[in-house]
Amino acid sequence: MCTLAHRHSLHCILPPYILSRIAENGPPELRSKAIRALMIDPSIRLVRAATAGPVLGSVARLRSAAGNVPTPGPRRTIRDAGNRPEAPGATVVRREGDAATGDPAVDEAYDGLGATFALFWEAYRRNSIDDAGLPLDATVHYDQDYDNAFWDGTQMVFGDGDGELFNRFTLALDVIGHELTHGVTEREAGLAYVNQSGALNESISDVFGALVKQHALGQDAAAADWLIGEGLFTPQVAGSALRSMKAPGTAYDDPVLGKDPQPAHMDDFVRTNQDNGGVHINSGIPNRAFYLAATAIGGKAWDRAGTIWYNALLDPNVRPNTDFAGFARVTVDVAGRLYGPAGTEATAVAEAWSGVGVS
């Protein structure tokens, strides 16, 4: 449900197939909103596919441990759209260093931006989205009962949800991390938002969205739930989250939303003309590969497993049209260069990709 035209590609957390199900099976007041979104959505996604490409900002390099670098900090600004379709919102409601406002959406957005900055800086020494201290802006209370959140190339935009199927979209920390990671991918590999490269684009956002949450909670790979968007569904929905990295295809099974369509293995790869070639669907395959690698390596997933995926994203061999197999080769190579070609990490990464049918 993305309604803004922008020179950058728009990346929405809610896939179009969920909107289609709401349009078909939802209550009347929600059907009309979903239909409106679906009428606008194809042109937005066509622009996204056409414009997605490399906007390279950082020199590709292996990064592992923190160095003696001065500590930067986030520069956050939160605006309130006042339930109008305006982004950025007209009213600044919280700036960097300001006290909490008491508005949950404002304060969750502020904290989520900070948690995402913290992961990328503390784990990978990346200074904001562009690695050059880009200010982190967000607009909350966007439009009426808006069921989505998106990164528009310059800021985050959050809807409040309809209250019937979806809660406010600032609730899920991993959603904020997911959307901001699209900005990192745009500036590094520029993965084209279509077919397998687009599914990789989505998966990388899920990976680092999950790591933002795990980093904030101090969880190791074994303790994490590996869910994306937990808390977005109201109790009326039969489901736990939008996606499961541990078990793709099991996140929800609901009379209105349908069943989670994500495959976990290449044997079940979905070939479709919808959703830019299934970018939100087939991302389940590389998602599970990361889960398998992270849990096999053990410890904090943002440490070794996350470092491998992050450096793969920076690697010059990952190009806009890189597919699953190409990215798998790079991750194995990076694991070998960082931790040794015969090490636990390289073996775990290779076995993870084999485990989802990517050789």
| Catalytic machinery residues | 179, 280
Beta bridge partners of 12: 150
Beta bridge partners of 166: 233
Among 125, 297, 119, smallest CA distance to 215 is for 119
Taking phi over 0 as left and psi of -120 to 50 as alpha, with beta for the rest, 313 belongs to alpha
Among 101, 287, 97, 81, smallest CA distance to 169 is for 81
H helices present in the chain, as ranges = 16-25, 28-51, 104-124, 173-187, 195-217, 275-278, 284-297, 304-314, 324-339, 344-355
Which residues make Cβ contacts (< 8 Å) with residue 270, sequence separation at least 6? 261, 263, 278, 281, 282
**CB of 255 within 8 A of CB of 25?**
yes
- C-alpha angle 238/243/247, rounded to 5°? 95
Among 45, 352, 12, smallest CA distance to 193 is for 45
Encoded tokens for 315: 């690697």
Rounded to whole angstroms, how far apart are CA atoms 41 and 8?
Answer: 15
Bridge-based pairing of strands 227-228 and 243-244 is antiparallel
Which residues make Cβ contacts (< 8 Å) with residue 358, sequence separation at least 6? 266, 285, 286, 289, 324, 325, 328
**CB of 54 within 8 A of CB of 303?**
no
If residue 157 lies in a helix (H) or strand (E), which one and from where to where?
A: strand 156-158
Rounded to whole angstroms, how far apart are CA atoms 318 and 330?
Answer: 7
